[in-house]
Structure 1
């Protein structure tokens, strides 16, 4: 799966990339109540412009397996880029966005100490069914109790990635560790894709 993902970026097969912030993010993020200045985790971030939108109010930490995506993000941005290495990840920072190049499953709680929110538009749906449960559990390990996030899932005809993830599967994956609220089913797109927005809040005792 990792090699396939890198190959898609090398070949430019990134039809999932949008040239503007996602409308469901713009519509629903303000209502989550995430305080300005809270660091937002964006798994499998690609070169998403959603990170720049979030960075107006938040420091952003994106994790991406394909180095080409990270280099494209900073090349298309404005401002000095600083680079360093930490915990096995190559990291670059531009403005309020830091991008960690590596495997999301190798990112652990020690590196996530400042994370207080998350946004997933392209991570869950990029993973095959056998890996999605592992992803949901690992995300829960990184997110502190009370932290909130926005998930955008996708249903489509068989095939992928991106993969179809039903509402029933979203609930099955996340309800053990999150309070899950359905926000909106988007309109079907010409390609048969239909996105759904969910608000998630990490369960657990508040400190």
Structure 2
């Protein structure tokens, strides 16, 4: 899976990347009432412009991305000096209030997540095959403190292909209900060309402390 992801960036096969901020993020983020200044985790972030929008809402952002190429494109397309350093086995690139950690999301642990209070997932869960999604949901729960909130965007599709993979409402409940309270916010329109339909969810981390899972 990792090799395929890196190859997609090398070949420029990044049709999942949007040239604009996702409208569901703009519409629903304020409803989460995440306090300004709270750091937002963006797993498998690619070079999404959604991260810059989040900083405009006064949130520092920590994105995790496997592809160094994606990170370099993101900072090259942005403004401001880039600071690079290594931390906990990750190469970190910081530009303004965005820090991008290059490496495997599953190797990012609670010690590095101490300041994270919220998350945003538009293309992480649906990029993972079924066998990996349970692991992802559990790992995310370990990184988010009790009371931490997040916005999750999933996708259903007519066929069984992927990525992006089909994740329906029942699977969202199976994956997250043990550790998060879940609110269904909206279903988008079904795309007539590919049969894709997005759904938007608000999640809030239940207790106890993630360090005691």
TM-score interval (norm. to shorter)? over 0.9
The CA distance in 2 between the partners of 1:191 and 1:36, in whole Å, is 37
1:44 corresponds in structure 2 to 44
Unaligned runs of 5+ in 1: none
Report matched runs for 1:61-76 at 5 Å.
Answer: 61-76=62-77
Q: Does 1:167 align with 2:166?
A: no
Which residue of 192, 195, 205 maps to 1:202?
205
TM-score, normalised with respect to structure 2 = 0.95
TM-score, normalised with respect to structure 1 = 0.98
The CA distance in 2 between the partners of 1:93 and 1:172, in whole Å, is 35
Q: Tell me the C-alpha RMSD between the 2 structures.
A: 0.8
- Give the secondary-structure state (helix, strand or coil) at the position aligned to 1:41: strand
What's the CA shift for 1:191? Answer: 2.0
The CA distance in 2 between the partners of 1:127 and 1:205, in whole Å, is 27
The CA distance in 2 between the partners of 1:143 and 1:24, in whole Å, is 21
Report matched runs for 1:98-137 at 5 Å.
Answer: 98-137=99-138
1:16 corresponds in structure 2 to 16
The CA distance in 2 between the partners of 1:16 and 1:191, in whole Å, is 13
- Give the secondary-structure state (helix, strand or coil) at the position aligned to 1:181: strand
Q: How many residues align?
A: 206
- Give the secondary-structure state (helix, strand or coil) at the position aligned to 2:182: strand
What's the CA shift for 1:137? Answer: 0.2
Q: Structure 1: which 4+ aligned runs deviate by more than 3 Å?
A: none
1:176 corresponds in structure 2 to 178
Deviations 1:157-187 (A, max 9, x none): 2101111101100010000000000000000
Unaligned runs of 5+ in 2: none
1:193 corresponds in structure 2 to 196
